Structure 1
Amino acid sequence: MSADPRRALPRTDVVLDDPRLRASTGRLGSDSVKAAVVAALAEARSGVLPIAEIADRAYDLLPHLATELQSVINATGVVLHTNLGRAPLSAAAIEALTAATGYVDVEFDLAGGVRAGRGRSALAALRTAVPAAEQVMVVNNGASALLLAVTTLAPGREVIVSRGEMVEIGDNFRLPDLMTSTGAVIREVGTTNRTSLADYAHAIGPETGCIVKIHPSNFLVTGFTSSVPLTDLATLPVPVIADIGSGLLAPEPLLPDEPDVASSLAAGAEVVTCSGDKLLGGPQTGLIFGDAALLERMRRHPLARALRCDKLTLAALEATLRGPRTPTFLALHADSRQLRVRCDLLADALTARVVPSAGTVGGGGAPGVELPGWAVALDSRLAAPLRVGATPVVGRVTGGQLLLDLRCVPPADDIRVRDAVLAARGSLPNGRVS
């Protein structure tokens, strides 16, 4: 009787001594590399893998990065796709983020050898971008910006909000709940579809801390409607916080109904809050602009420490503000004719059709605004294998078709999309589909 070949299985430490696996340990960590070796040994022990191929198999099983997050190609046509991480960072922001991974002078004056203002270069870039702001501040997301503003201006007091602006955003998160968590009391005024200046004026009393005007950026109310502009609210004797949501710093002709920071300050808002990872195209941040005295109170509030950004975020934000046009800007302004040319080339390579496709801003911004473009139409059965392939591609399934909209896809990735589709077709059990 011949000996069981499985008795010749090498020890784990012998396999780990493979040069490729040793080199990967420094990048991925010993636990990840050892787990891949153990898995390869298990396959060999079961007889499905030749012993001579154990090290090769272990190397193939290693993750590309020491994280389970996967890079995804966004072919949905949604520019700021919240589930896919909203704004992709620019090359300049990525470079700055990498530079900030080591020791940096984020809170240190190299010339004087003393402590310095945290993130002062990022704040300077933000002030340059919005000269109308007396002072600026950065926290870790848009909700934090509103939370800190309300906590500072109306602790335990009333906050006046129009009923038409009692907004719920993603994952059942409601802005009124955020504000009441500070101890403030919401004083609703007006109705769902109509609110007047008199409604606000009549609600003001000795317990009023501020008025909060929230831009309903993720829905539209049409018909018999009215709301009060900031210029009118600014005539009332209480501070006005304008939460504009999507983070335009200045007017954008493509999105005429989307409020911006500069215009909101000019209209009389004492404080303006917004997100940095939406239309600005930067990392996740909450941006605060406005009256110097009010922002100084916010900066000194104990909550500000809990909401502050790390050095990586500050570096990426500064590079976003000082650097070239962001991927978000380029996707929003993508030329429809160029998109058609790219889609035609991809469709020819895949023997597929090109159809009109209306892209959207996403991220709870500019509801109802369509971005005319094109997409490659494929069999909807390809949606799942494309999502889980070696190069994950997320498209949009509609009308029984899978649409791959190239608006948010860098042109250099078109060939990767083609190869991913070909691989997905080959993985289907029923053979080739269109």
Structure 2
Amino acid sequence: MATLRALPSVHQVLEHKDVQGLVAVHGRALVLFAVQRALDEERTNGAIADPAARVARVETIVRELRAPRLRPVINATGVVLHTNLGRAPLAAAAAEAAAAIAGRYSTLEFDPRIGRRGRRHDLVADSLRHLTGAEAAAVVNNCAAAVLLMLTALAKGKEVIVGRGELVEIGGGFRMPDVMRLSGARLVEVGTTNRTRPEDYAAAITPKTVAILKVHASNFQVVGFTESVELEALARVARQHSVLLLHDLGSGSLLDSAAYGLAAEPRIQDSLRAGTDLLACSADKLLGGPQAGLLLGRTELVDKVMKHPLARAVRIDKLTLAALSATLDLYLTQSVAELPIWNMLGASADAIAARARTWQRRLVERGIEVEVVPAESTVGGGSLPGERLPTSAVAITPRSGHAADLLRRLREHEPPVIGRIERERVLLDPRTVLPDEDDALLDAVAAAHA
């Protein structure tokens, strides 16, 4: 206790010349908080720090509070649509569009042509209709919200039929039965986990049925003795019984993935042509845009959904709209080469191998021995499950310690480099590293390997 009596007051610490320097940079209120916390720590520990150590601790507290938690990383995992790392990196045009709108007033809900209030989702509706063939289009803040809104507005208190093999759970514990329950719709399961036929849906329709819901199995595969119902067949069943056909499409591609050497992923326009009345999909997966949920289909259904009170709770913001509009413009002008994810997915094995060898040569010049090894990239993000893309990765064996220690040091670098471990080696996949990130990645490897 006698020792603690020597603890300086908050005022005394604030008057220290180095602490005053912190106040000049960070403001008095924040430094005051840091001083109080530092003194509380000394009091709790029962030991008084020397003045230099105390000032250092105050500065650390301030910098930890001010350090942005959301910051850029270098994705060297080989997972193109890495959900934990923000899924699709935006095209430069999309990022610039969002930045241009961020610090200004905008036409978010104002139509200057008529001088009256407009609807924010109309800002991208024309582009979406042109690209997909939909009668009408709207946008909300993500695909899960689009599905919830669609079911709440169209099916509350009524029956919706879903194939048992499509009762999916995606990342974050998002389960289709839970969403159905939250919307107020009554789930009717048909078929079995691995086999469902058109007659299963037809037999389940009652006077209380309002819709059939098709859910794309975006993050898993069922293989072997399987059978599912294609959209065209479901559309026929829906028309025969005067119920709606709704589609949770998931990743929402506009391009033919097969043209990139990938498995076929259902496209938005294909779903609508097959007879879907209303579909929901993501904008930040294979579309390559910002996080958003698209709703596309018949005009009366889109209008009904967007007039529901829940629509306001899940509405899209101006920055996302700006980025989405610019992304769609790249499709309108057939400039998809500017979309980073499609460049990554379409990169040739030879080009990736050449880049990996360049990394290897530059690291060897710094005295760091690494190997170039064959590996596999994945699409990720609940898109094209099971798809593997041949790649070449730089494999780093730690000089000492374990691969997990090296991977941690890479994560702690600024910017953090995120890789993966295979066979006690850290693998860095060039496929998902953006073109202007090579120098930063190699600097991180050198620092982590030192």
TM range (shorter): 0.7 to 0.9
Alignment counterpart, residue 383 of structure 2, candidates 355, 365, 370? 365
Q: What SS is found at the alignment partner of 1:223?
A: coil
Give the letter for the 2:418 counterpart: V
Q: Deviations over 1:212-267 (max 9, x none)?
A: 10011111111111111110111123111111101102432234431110000011
Shift of 1:319: 1.2
Alignment of 1:262-301 (within 5 A): 262-301=269-308
The 3 A distance-change label for structure 1 pair 327 and 12 is: farther
Q: Is the deviation greater in 326-335 or in 358-367?
A: 326-335
Structure 2 residue ranges without an equivalent (≥5): 1-5, 43-47, 398-402
Using structure 1 for the length normalisation, give the TM-score: 0.87
The 3 A distance-change label for structure 1 pair 32 and 373 is: farther
More helix by share: 2
Q: Is the deviation greater in 72-81 or in 117-126?
A: 117-126
Give me the identity figure in percent: 46
Taking the aligned partners of 1:266 and 1:74, their CA distance within structure 2 comes to 36
Taking the aligned partners of 1:296 and 1:140, their CA distance within structure 2 comes to 17
Give the letter for the 2:267 counterpart: D
The corresponding residue for 1:230 is 231
Alignment of 1:86-235 (within 5 A): 86-101=87-102, 102-130=104-132, 132-235=133-236
The corresponding residue for 1:243 is 248
**Alpha-carbon contact 1:155-1:183 (below 8 Å) kept:** yes
The 3 A distance-change label for structure 1 pair 406 and 244 is: same
Give the letter for the 1:358 counterpart: E
Aligned length in residues: 413
Taking the aligned partners of 1:160 and 1:121, their CA distance within structure 2 comes to 33
Q: Is the deviation greater in 201-210 or in 108-117?
A: 108-117
The 3 A distance-change label for structure 1 pair 119 and 230 is: closer
Kindly indicate whether residue 374 of structure 2 is the aligned counterpart of residue 374 of structure 1: no
Q: What SS is found at the alignment partner of 1:235?
A: helix
The corresponding residue for 1:305 is 312
**Alpha-carbon contact 1:145-1:287 (below 8 Å) kept:** yes
The 3 A distance-change label for structure 1 pair 356 and 144 is: same
Shift of 1:120: 2.8
Shift of 1:159: 0.8
The 3 A distance-change label for structure 1 pair 391 and 306 is: same
The 3 A distance-change label for structure 1 pair 12 and 221 is: farther
Shift of 1:344: 1.0
Give the letter for the 1:282 counterpart: G
**Alpha-carbon contact 1:142-1:275 (below 8 Å) kept:** yes
Shift of 1:15: 5.1
Q: Is the deviation greater in 286-295 or in 394-403?
A: 394-403
The corresponding residue for 2:3 is none
Give the letter for the 2:117 counterpart: R
Kindly indicate whether residue 339 of structure 2 is the aligned counterpart of residue 326 of structure 1: yes
Shift of 1:98: 1.4
Give the letter for the 2:107 counterpart: D
Structure 1 residue ranges without an equivalent (≥5): 427-434
**Alpha-carbon contact 2:30-2:62 (below 8 Å) kept:** no
**Alpha-carbon contact 2:420-2:426 (below 8 Å) kept:** yes
The corresponding residue for 1:317 is 324
Q: Deviations over 1:359-401 (max 9, x none)?
A: 0000111011111111111131311111122221110112222
**Alpha-carbon contact 1:74-1:393 (below 8 Å) kept:** yes
